[in-house]
Structure 1
Amino acid sequence: MKTGNRLVLLLLQNAPYVLFVVLLILFGLVSDRFLAVANFRNIVIQAAPIAILAIGMTFVLLTGQIDLSVGASMYLTASILAIYLTGIPWPLGLIAVMAMAAAIGAVNGGVVTRLGVASFIVTLATLFILRGIAMWLSNTRTLMFPDPITDLNRAHVLGVPSAIVAFAAVFAVAWLVLHQTPFGRQVYAVGGDPEAARKAGLPVRRIVFLCFVIAGLCAGIGGFVSITQIGAVGPKYGDQIEFSAIAAAVLGGVSLFGGRGSVVGTVFGAILIKTVQNGLNIINADPYIYPLVTAAIIFIAVAIDGLRTRIIEKLERRTIRPLTGE
């Protein structure tokens, strides 16, 4: 039984990679264009904003929390940039967006940790508040960005597209923080068992708070990369993108219950989601199928996480033998 559980766990842990190979075969058989190198480069470029967003979401999920407001944070900060800050150089615009998004994350983290309100409720409320403010500021108009920002999408660093450079930089920093610093180990400890972490002397509330700030910061960076690609934001900008970020993280092995996962899997999950969307676009699938496919991906991700968690709990469970008298 234990051997069977381990085999199933191994399959679940590698499910995204198996699914990716299956998709390559299926879409490749339907269209030769899908397997082209240029198409894979486009997939990674398109996946960059979601990958950055999902990396920030990974920090929050690892602590056993969730942030549903990142899409609305992208919309509000991008709207403020388009309305009030279009005249400043783009590096200052990026810094401003990052600062505003980090402040939003700090508000979420402060309410969750100081008032003890469930993160699902807090960030759901923030989602509606931020999107409402953005619509009020923009008067629900589509906002355009100037050429200095949109030109960044065509910029390259040593031959590498700027979007890929941005997401690679975020990934590298996140990996170093999670796997090479005491803070990263504390994040895993808090997610694995908050009460034990608290008894061990870890500042649990501060760690959770900082993870929300990091999620907000990544929302700002991801939003900026996104607007360089599309050049405009409207009322539907960032709508429901938080679910794609969560699905990417969970598909990549991050547990919704906290304490397990890595940004490596998260990035692969984001690329997997964009691969599906790219393949559907190449084969000219009905656009109405896209939401259904996204919903199926989210369902699969949650199902895999649930099965994976139950099997891990079984494997980690130890039988306690009753004491017997002599």
Structure 2
Amino acid sequence: MASNRPAPEALYVPNDSAEGPDGSPGFAAYAPQESWEEWNPTAESIRPVRGRHRVHKKGGGGLARSSTVLGVGVIAAVGAGGIATAQGGKPPVSIAMPDMSAVTDQLPEAKSLPGVGSLIADDSDGGADTSTVAAPLSSAGVTTADAERGTTGAGEALRARIMQQAENQQHQADDAQRIAAEDAAVKKAAEQAAAQQDKAQAAAKAKAAEEKRKKEEAARKKAEAERLAKLAKSFSLPTSSYTLTSHFGDSGSMWSSGQHTGLDFAAPTGTPLKAVHTGTIKSAGWSGSYGYRTVLELKDGTEIWYCHQSSMSVSVGQKVTTGEVIGRVGATGNVTGPHLHMEVHTSGGANIDPLAWLQGKGLNP
């Protein structure tokens, strides 16, 4: 293909008397400088559009193309009206523009905008208050609650929220500590109450055990007293109207062994002597330092010796019962006065305290 020259330019010559091709007045006369030839536009032959322009992508947002479309629409409308008037003689279409005075009256002055007044102030405002420069340029992040507290800057609002969050966390920590202290106090009180309850229960158990022991002890003593009372009915003191003068184990030169081996009942001569229990007469007669002595053998083998008698009323092998008279008080043998010298010997031959033995039978000499 042959290269093309740049597109020819039409020469406009204003001439009110000239007529256009269609005979209409007011059009310029065209006077081509060169002869016409076929022209094919190419990238090299098209003159570049001077000035800044923006190429919009196909399918872009309507907001990005709104101004361009509006401008093209207005030009098209105006052109269509003029062409219609020129061709058909119709009156031009009037385009009503909105009255912007009502809007501009409500807009704030530029000087009152934060951080802007100082930028457009003239030299005469050199002494004006520059406090507006420090005003925040944006209120992004400022909530209604922040505005109510007087917070206008995003940084101040963020700081206030951080401080509020820290305060809330401190309150939560204090609440947790308080709850923990209350729980500890409740637990301690419960433990103290449980300890006191255990102590009270232990004291109650101890008291009940003591009362039980006392009752058992009282019952035992009562049973023992009943037993002794019953036993006393089958045992008897050896004499009456007496005075105990010497006890078992007393020491002195009056006794050959150096110690007294029995219990002395001092009584007038002739006072009756009775069998302490049912038994058999084992011996009856003279026995040296013991004078006249009667030996009563009980069923269990225990021997009761009646010494220093003035007279004897039984013989060997005789069966006697409790309280039966077997002799009388005297002063025979090694004595200092009339009395009954009573000795108790076990079945094994041991010499024991007659007073303790009588007490064990429920008798109190």
- With CA pairs under 8 Å and 6+ residues apart, which has the higher RCO, 1 or 2? 1
Specify if TM > 0.5: no
Give the TM-score, by structure 1 length: 0.18
- Higher helix content, 1 or 2: 1
Asked which structure has the greater CA Rg, the reply is 2
Q: TM-score with structure 2 length normalisation?
A: 0.16
